[in-house]
Structure formats: structure tokens, C-alpha cells
Amino acid sequence: MENASKALIIAGAILLAILIISLGILIYNQAAGIVNSNSMSDVEITQFNAQFTQYQGTQSGSTVRALLQEVLSNNLTQDDDGRKVTVNGNAGVSITTSTSSVNMEQINTGGSYTVTCSYGTSGAANAGLVTNIQIDKRK
């Protein structure tokens, strides 16, 4: 009788251990799914893009300087390179994902510039996000 009660206690302990391990695996899988879900909702994409798309079109030099400050600020606060924005064009200013400051003396505050935004391709991690801004000096 004594052996039977010990066997039941051991069996109960094994079942309890299996239950705890299963619960741990379940929680881990749910948390991993949330962490791996880096995609942004449509609202988040729109909010991200709005900070740059408001500058699209023909802009004055002072507005272009404000845009460049916005890009630098964004790039410094983003940990994910897919959410960093590059700047190029014939205006003489270039910002890469690793640029931490930029010389804006090439941007004439009274000048006129054309600003165009490019977006990430579908299927990429940055799909739908502004990834590049083209700034061209108007003649």
C-alpha cells in the first residue's frame, strides 16, 4: 500500500511538471509571435509618412531645411534601418542612414526646390514607408 501511494505521488508530480512545461512553451510561442511581428498598421504607416510627405512638391529653401532637420531627427531616433530615410538629389545635400548631421549651407533659403518621396516596395520590411527623399534645385 505504501508503494502505491508513492507511485501516485510521483505520477502526479510528473503530470504537474509536464503541465508547467507546456504552459511555459505556450507563453513563449505567443510572446515570440508578438516580438516577430514588426509590421506597422496602415495608420502607423500614414503617420510615419506624413512627417515627410507634407514637404512634397515645390518648396522654398527654408522649408527644405526644415525637412532635412526632420529626416535627421527621424534617423537618430529609429533603431530599425528599414525606418530610416535617405536624402539625395542635385541640391548638394546627402543624408544616409548613418548620417548624424548635415551641412545645409548648400540650401539657399530663398531658393526653390522640388521634393519627391520614394516608398519601400511591397514584400520588404519597409513596404509603404518613405525610404528616400529626392531634393532637386529648380532652375
| 78 and 94 belong to one structural domain | yes
pLDDT tens profile 52-63: 999 999 999 999
pLDDT of residue 35: 56
| 66 and 129 belong to one structural domain | yes
| 14 and 59 belong to one structural domain | no
| 13 and 68 belong to one structural domain | no
Helix (H, G, I), strand (E, B) or coil at 28: helix
Domain count, the chain: 2
25: confidence class by pLDDT, cuts 50, 70, 90: very high
Q: Which grid cell is 82? A: 528599414
| 88 and 24 belong to one structural domain | no
| 7 and 70 belong to one structural domain | no
Range of the domain at 19: 1-37
Instruction: Find the mean pLDDT for residues 93-120.
Output: 87
Rounded Cα–Cα distance for residues 97 and 45 (Å): 19
Q: Which residues pair with 36 in a beta bridge?
A: none
| 32 and 50 belong to one structural domain | no
| 30 and 85 belong to one structural domain | no
| 58 and 112 belong to one structural domain | yes
| 66 and 120 belong to one structural domain | yes
Instruction: Find the mean pLDDT for residues 56-80.
Output: 91
pLDDT tens profile 81-95: 888 999 998 888 888
What would the DSSP string read from start to end of 102-128?
A: --GGGS-TT-EEEEEEEEBPTTSTTBT
Q: Using alpha carbons only, give the angle 85, 86, 87 rounded to the nearest 5 degrees.
A: 125
pLDDT higher than 60, residue 37: no
Rounded Cα–Cα distance for residues 62 and 50 (Å): 19
| 23 and 90 belong to one structural domain | no
pLDDT of residue 34: 62
